[in-house]
Amino acid sequence: MNAGDIVKFYSEFAKLKDTLRTGWTKYLSKSQVESVAEHSFSVTLLSLIIAEKYFPNANTNKIMTIGLIHDIGEAYVGDITPHCGVCAEEKHKIEFEAVKQIFSNLENKEKYISLWEEYEEGKSIEAKIVKEVDKLEMALQANLYESKHDTELAEFFESAEKKITLKEIKEIFDSIKTK
């Protein structure tokens, strides 16, 4: 790997700054919607704070790495939601190909690809934490959007509630609903 490979890697993942979270565009104008990069930052920071508080035996470095890369394939394929008409298997396949391409010039590409797969499969407590915080962050963002804009975003809360199973994260989610 050389300096040019690092610059190429940056130019690929930096596309996440311009990739909007698709689900929000159904209800809000594009200028009001967060990017995938903003979402990934929020998921990573929330995952770190929640893990330190509730999961002291979890590897926080691994959590932060997974949080930062969990949506990196979207730099190529965009933010595919259930409303896009792409089945889960196809979504995984095209995102996996994108992830492999994005990390292809890094010396430790296998490490990152493996962590992305671990997240997708929820194999470890760290992956489960990030996966559930991903849904929690969606609900928190929906809560913010409802406060800022005159819109109802119940579908996002319902979706998150179905996927959050860790009691510690469920407790945080439940506190959103009581507001």
Domain interval for residue 87: 3-177
Are 137 and 63 contacting, i.e. CB atoms less than 8 angstroms apart?
no
CATH at residue 149: 1.10.3210.10
Please write the tens of the pLDDT for every residue from 31-72: 889 999 999 999 999 999 999 999 999 999 999 999 999 999
Look at residue 112 in the predicted model and tell me its pLDDT. 97
Q: What is the pTM of this model?
A: 0.93
Q: How confident is the model at residue 178 (pLDDT cuts 50, 70, 90)?
A: low
- pLDDT (tens digit, 9 = 90+) per residue, 73-101? 999 998 887 778 888 898 899 999 999 99
Tell me how many domains the chain contains: 1
DSSP output for 31-74: GGSPBHHHHHHHHHHHHHHHHHHH-TTS-HHHHHHHHHHTTTTH
